C-alpha cells in the first residue's frame, strides 16, 4: 500500500505544481474506468516541460485482468491498464516524468 500512497501523493503534487490559475482551466488529467475491466488515464502535458517528450508504447500483458499499456500521444501521457494495475501504471508515468533528459549540445 505504501507504493500506491507514494505515487498518488507524487501525482497530486505534480498536478498542483502545474496549477497556476490558467493551466488547470484548460488542461489536467482524467482517470476513468474501462468496461473490460480496467482503467484509462490521460495526463495532459501541454505547457509543461514534458510536452515534447516521447514515451514509446509500453505494453505488458500477463492475463485478462493483469495488463498495462502506456504511451504519449497528442501531448498527453496515456495509460490503459487492468483493474489492479493503476499503481503500476502511474508509477511508469512518475519514472518517465522525473527522468533526467540529456541536454542538447
Q: By three-state DSSP, how is residue 52 classified?
A: coil
Q: By three-state DSSP, how is residue 60 classified?
A: strand
Give the dihedral of Cα atoms 18, 80, 68, 43; nearest 10 deg. -10
pLDDT in tens, 56-79: 999 999 999 999 999 999 999 999
Predicted model pTM = 0.88
Percentage of the residues of the chain whose pLDDT score is greater than 70 = 90
Measure CA 36 to chain center: 20
The CA distance from 15 to 101, in Å, is 20
Amino acid at each position: 500500500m505504501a507504493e500506491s500512497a507514494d505515487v498518488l501523493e507524487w501525482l497530486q503534487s505534480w498536478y498542483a505544481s502545474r496549477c497556476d490559475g490558467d493551466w488547470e482551466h484548460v488542461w489536467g488529467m482524467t482517470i476513468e474506468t474501462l468496461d473490460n475491466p480496467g482503467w484509462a488515464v490521460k495526463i495532459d502535458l501541454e505547457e509543461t516541460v514534458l510536452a515534447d517528450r516521447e514515451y514509446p508504447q509500453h505494453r505488458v500483458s500477463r492475463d485478462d485482468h493483469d495488463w498495462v499499456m502506456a504511451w504519449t500521444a497528442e501531448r498527453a501521457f496515456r495509460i490503459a491498464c487492468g483493474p489492479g494495475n493503476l499503481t503500476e501504471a502511474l508509477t511508469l508515468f512518475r519514472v518517465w516524468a522525473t527522468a533526467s533528459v540529456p541536454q542538447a549540445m
